[in-house]
Structure 1
Amino acid sequence: MNNNAWVLSYLPPRCKELGCKWILTRKMKLDDIIDKYNSILVIQGFRQHEGIDVFDTYALIVRISKVRLLLACVATHNLMVHQIDVKSAFLNGDLDEEIYIKQHEGFMMPGSENKV
């Protein structure tokens, strides 16, 4: 709520509410001491149907032969290669759509149990 990540509202007609769950993990140091705790709220988007609820869902996959070809071209033409972390780019992307999720466990606002 402090981050203004969501607003409680009634579910609009013909919209589907999605479930969610918390993924809790521990980051450990080399000597098996807990460094920090991480928590991620994950929306269960597997209930959506392509063409009805979701459009253009895909993940780019690169074959190792394409990577070898790219590196061969780089070596041949004396070019530079830069690497990026696409996992964090995907996870931190902005949504253009409105997503309606059920209030997750531990959040239920008193008096607003019917809202999403």
Structure 2
Amino acid sequence: MNVVQSSLSTSHPLSTYLSYARLSPHHKAYTANLTLFKEPTSFSQAVRDPNWCAAMHHEIAALQANHTWTLVPLLLHKCPIGCKWVYKIKLKPDGTLERYKTRLVAKGYSQVEGVDYRETFAPMAKLTTVCVLLSMAAVQGWHLHQLDVNNTFLNDDLEEDVYMTLPPGFGRKGETRVCKLNKSLYGLK
């Protein structure tokens, strides 16, 4: 065996452990389509695609309808936190495109304890609670449905004064206003 062959061969090839043979046709199609769609990693990439632009406008409209922030002039003694867009392509179970999903996320890592927040809290369901509910549903023969609530995290009012820069792409050049957050936003502490 020459050097080229030995560097290309693997002692434990993935095909030995992974097979798509037992997947249903829908799951095979879904898995194959995962690599067809590319998600942007930055605003400058996303802004070139009208689908992502429409998704960002939809997210902004939902945030404004929820009164998530108020536009105010930046106070001299306040330092706003930044924000960024996160992009995700949602697929249907058969692997076809369902929608372009964007989320505006605050850069909460730059918040200062005692200034921008006092305590952190993240409501979570315990895994045992979920298991009990699923087992009850199985025993009782209940039908299960998944529910996706848009912007559910944003219903909590903020007690602290938190200021955030305008979302990328939604401010005018030279704009001096910032978003005073009225409600919680993903990424906040």
TM-score normalised to the size of structure 2?
0.41
The Cα of 1:49 is off from its aligned counterpart by 2.1
The answer on 1:114 being equivalent to 2:154 is no
Question: Of 94, 98, 102, which residue of structure 2 is paired with 1:39?
Answer: 102
Q: Which has the higher contact order (CA 8 A, sep 6+)?
A: 1
Question: SS in structure 1 opposite 2:69?
Answer: coil
CA distance in 2 between counterparts of 1:17 and 1:62 reads 32
- 1:104 and 2:167 aligned: yes
**Percentage identity across paired residues of the two chains:** 28
- Whichever structure has more helix as a proportion of its residues is 2
Amino acid at match of 2:107: Q
Q: Do residues 53 (structure 1) and 112 (structure 2) align? A: no
Q: 2:154 aligns with which of 66, 89, 92?
A: 92
Q: Is the contact made by 2:116 and 2:161 (CA closer than 8 Å) also made in structure 1?
A: no
Distance 1:89 1:104 in 2: 16
Structure 2 CA distance for aligned equivalents of residues 26 and 35 of structure 1: 8
**Residues 37 and 61 of structure 1: is their aligned pair in 2 closer, same or farther, counting only changes over 3 Å?**
closer
Gapped runs of 5+ residues in structure 1? 72-84
TM-superposition CA deviations, 1:77-111 (whole Å, max 9, x none): xxxxxxxx9xx89713322233211112211135x
**Does the aligned pair in 1 maintain the 2:83–2:105 contact within 8 Å?**
yes
Provide the rounded CA distance (Å) in 2 between the counterparts of 1:90 and 1:104: 20
Dislocated runs of 4+, deviation >3 Å: 58-64
Residue type at the aligned position of 2:90: K
Q: TM-score, normalised by structure 1?
A: 0.62
Cα distance in 1 for partners of 2:126, 2:101 equals 32
Q: Distance in 2 between matches of 1:63 and 1:39?
A: 27
Which residue of structure 2 lines up, in the alignment, with residue 81 of structure 1? none
CA-CA distance at 1:48 after TM superposition: 1.3
Alpha carbons 2:90, 2:100 under 8 Å: kept: yes
* SS of residue matched to 2:116: coil
Shift of 1:60: 6.0
The aligned length equals 98
